[in-house]
Structure 1
Amino acid sequence: MNKELFDYPKQDGSGATCIAQAWAKVPRALPEEEKAQIIQKIKSELIKQDAVLIAHYYIDGAIQDLAWETGGFVADSLEMARFGKNHSAKKLVVAGVKFMGESAKILSPEKTVLMPDLDATCSLDLGCPAEDFNQFCDAHPDREVVVYANTSAAVKARADWMVTSSCALAIVHELHQQGKKILWAPDRHLGRYIQDQTGADMLLWEGHCIVHDEFKAIELETLIKKHPNAMVLVHPESPAHVVDLADVVGSTSAMIKAVVEGSAKEYIVATDKGILHRMRQLAPEKILIEAPTAGNSATCKSCAHCPWMAMNGLEGILNCLTNQSGEILVDETIRSDAQICIERMLSFTTNHPELLAKAQHGFVKNIGAA
């Protein structure tokens, strides 16, 4: 993917500008009185429409809080998928990026799925077009096709398995034990890491997350020297040299667990800064330090926030509820094909809690060993 296609200055919700690398529009900052009024309207509409709000850890903290307050849910993409499928609500409002809304619709075709902004997407999704991916699969028919959740419904429809960062290692480990060769897409950093950990034969698509790809090992080393007692938490979508410096490498849920259960006082966190909101709520006594994404010459030291996640705003949520806008629609043929790989993942995570627990606590070598 040509990252330059998405480069332009942005202004965030607080009014601060960042010219480092920004690719999307950001909701306007709301005066407190207006913000409170919008929140009350959203609460009313959720009840009136039998709707539930499901959010990702990377979005604005106010939306995360609203989800919890209204009986909704905040989680990583695996648990978002489970919650939406099992909840009794007729309507799902998904605050995240488009592939999350598509996954919700795939698993719950009878429900209306709305999103605050359908333009909120993902660099991994954009960097793995379905037509190109199908050609890649056609060229390697002997491989089990495993795709990351950060892909379109059309890409999932071609896959044997969908995985998230919380279960990818366990699933690939199991496939490797069965002697299967893997075709992996789209994140090359996560794929390489899983390949190193499991020894699996993996052919990797050359994609990357624009947020995690920006973490810098040389700057992280400097930060670690300043905080020698800090525990370093790194998401596996990060470059290899950054992952090598980690004490814990894992999904968003694994990183939160590490902060809550860890004995350290300080934690250096290398993932989207949106996660810090939940970490602070669950472990207010811990000191959280953002991992650096750039060197001394950069405009900012840490710009680790997905520009598309930042597109989710309270006004957008209210608008999609009142106007029924931002509805996720998936072609039925694609939906039914994509559902197979997602259901397979959900079944695996239910039936292999011991492998999943090891992966969620932090990726380690020889995960299947006693």
Structure 2
Amino acid sequence: MSITEEIQARVIDKLDYAFPAKPKPLNEREKADTIARIKKLLKEKNAVLVAHYYTDPEIQALAEETGGCVSDSLEMARFGANHAAETLIVAGVKFMGETAKILTPHKTVLMPTLEATCSLDIGCPIEEFSAFCDAHPDRTVVVYANTSAAVKARADWVVTSSIALDIVDHLDAEGEKILWAPDQHLGNYIQKQTGADMLMWQGACVVHDEFKTKALEDLKKVYPEAAILVHPESPAAVVELADAVGSTSQLIKASQELPNDTFIVATDRGIFYKMQQLSPHKHFIEAPTAGNGATCRSCAHCPWMAMNGLVAIADALEHGGKAHEIHVDPALGERAMQPLTRMLNFKKG
């Protein structure tokens, strides 16, 4: 076994996705009272709510109603950095809160719960990842945004799914060999598109990894006029069936621009809120996670995203503290800012 295989085997042996309990459902009166409480606290605390496309629809709607934003992880952080609010309440998963804190270290960054994490983040611990990088010092380290601040700080580049293809293509043209982490499916997709020399970390998203090719083919037979939209964190065989492949924002754009009236969507179903909002006359169907070998650990909705309940948002705003506030060591944040800035400058240029 090579040193690379040994390192990854150690990580796999330790993985244990202890999925959290979802927030207790609220009745209509409780929901209205909690939303009113959040709106009041946002004003009192000079705070703004930023929410990811994968959070529940009621949270996305609240972010929009209160002058916040609904977007992908990087745009959430950029919006917060450019907003006048002194406090950011980030509805998403922990790496998103960390990214916001890295970009705005002078602001208070709160999350509904710090226990909301990500299988890609869990599956790429900094100790093993650093050893992986040290074993391949000749490679340029490119990490996906779905990683901890410590992993970002170890990288040469941080990328999002919307810009990863362009950056790797650029690095390949410069003769660079790539060490990619953590999502193997996204990495394999980029490698196939660019032909770049890429060494992969073997991580995966529990949501996208579950989409099933045979079940998707069967569903397409039921809806032959439907276009298939696929996030590149999905397995290669699922990606090959797609009419459009892309990041969350790219898939939303495709759902608007493609002429189809019906779409089968292979990403977290939280995205349906924005797709339906922008194309109310269109019909959106979840890509299947059932079939041979199915565990349905996510059933097309991230279990950690589901932790972002209204009561938790209100509690974070009212109490803050250890259970809600994101802290990033300033020195670590400065190092992580360097590859993030590299990506932002590339996007501008």
Count of aligned pairs between the two proteins: 336
Query: What secondary structure, in the 3-state scheme, does the structure 1 residue paired with 2:113 have?
Result: coil
Partner of 1:43: 39
- Partners of 2:210 and 2:289 within 8 A in 1: yes
Separation (CA, whole Å) in 2 of partners of 1:316 and 1:154: 26
Pairing of 1:66-215 with structure 2 (within 5 A):
66-215=62-211
What is the letter of the counterpart of residue 94 of structure 1? V
Pick closer, same or farther for the CA change 1:136–1:299 going to 2, 3 Å: closer
Work out which of the residue numbers 216, 219, 222 in structure 1 matches 2:215.
Answer: 219
- The alignment's TM-score, normalised by the length of structure 1, stands at 0.88
Separation (CA, whole Å) in 2 of partners of 1:77 and 1:297: 30
Partner of 2:304: 308
Separation (CA, whole Å) in 2 of partners of 1:329 and 1:198: 37
Separation (CA, whole Å) in 1 of partners of 2:14 and 2:185: 16
Structure 1 residues 272-309: Cα deviation after superposition (integer angstroms, max 9, x where no partner): 01101111111110011110011289687981100000
Provide the alpha-carbon RMSD of the alignment: 1.6
- The alignment's TM-score, normalised by the length of structure 2, stands at 0.93
Separation (CA, whole Å) in 2 of partners of 1:180 and 1:146: 11
Pick closer, same or farther for the CA change 1:225–1:306 going to 2, 3 Å: same
Partner of 2:287: 291
Pairing of 1:3-42 with structure 2 (within 5 A):
5-6=16-17, 23-42=19-38
Pairing of 1:356-367 with structure 2 (within 5 A):
none
- Partners of 1:106 and 1:335 within 8 A in 2: yes
- Partners of 1:290 and 1:302 within 8 A in 2: no
Structure 1 residues 101-140: Cα deviation after superposition (integer angstroms, max 9, x where no partner): 0000000000000000000000000000001000111111
What is the letter of the counterpart of residue 31 of structure 1? N
What is the letter of the counterpart of residue 206 of structure 2? I
Separation (CA, whole Å) in 1 of partners of 2:276 and 2:298: 18
- Partners of 1:185 and 1:191 within 8 A in 2: yes
Query: What secondary structure, in the 3-state scheme, does the structure 2 residue paired with 1:28 have?
Result: coil
Query: What secondary structure, in the 3-state scheme, does the structure 1 residue paired with 2:343 have?
Result: helix
1:347 Cα offset (Å): 1.3
**5+ residue gaps, structure 2:** 1-11
Separation (CA, whole Å) in 1 of partners of 2:142 and 2:117: 20
Separation (CA, whole Å) in 2 of partners of 1:82 and 1:4: 31
1:318 Cα offset (Å): 0.4
Structure 1 residues 210-255: Cα deviation after superposition (integer angstroms, max 9, x where no partner): 1100001011111111111111000000001000100101000011
Separation (CA, whole Å) in 2 of partners of 1:331 and 1:221: 48
Query: What secondary structure, in the 3-state scheme, does the structure 2 residue paired with 1:6 have?
Result: coil
Separation (CA, whole Å) in 2 of partners of 1:80 and 1:229: 34
Separation (CA, whole Å) in 2 of partners of 1:228 and 1:2: 42
What is the letter of the counterpart of residue 36 of structure 1? A
Separation (CA, whole Å) in 2 of partners of 1:231 and 1:27: 34
Partner of 2:7: none
**5+ residue gaps, structure 1:** 8-22, 352-370
Separation (CA, whole Å) in 1 of partners of 2:160 and 2:295: 32
Partner of 2:6: none
Separation (CA, whole Å) in 1 of partners of 2:105 and 2:297: 43
Structure 1 residues 31-60: Cα deviation after superposition (integer angstroms, max 9, x where no partner): 111111111111111111111000000001
Query: What secondary structure, in the 3-state scheme, does the structure 2 residue paired with 1:5 have?
Result: coil
Separation (CA, whole Å) in 2 of partners of 1:123 and 1:51: 29
- After the TM superposition, list the runs of 4 or more consecutive aligned residues in structure 1 that deviate by more than 2 angstroms: 1-7, 296-302
Taking every aligned residue pair, what percent have the same amino acid on both sides?
63
- Partners of 1:273 and 1:290 within 8 A in 2: yes
Work out which of the residue numbers 336, 340, 343 in structure 2 matches 1:338.
Answer: 336
- Partners of 1:143 and 1:181 within 8 A in 2: yes
Pick closer, same or farther for the CA change 1:2–1:84 going to 2, 3 Å: farther
Q: 72-81 or 185-194: which moved more?
A: 72-81
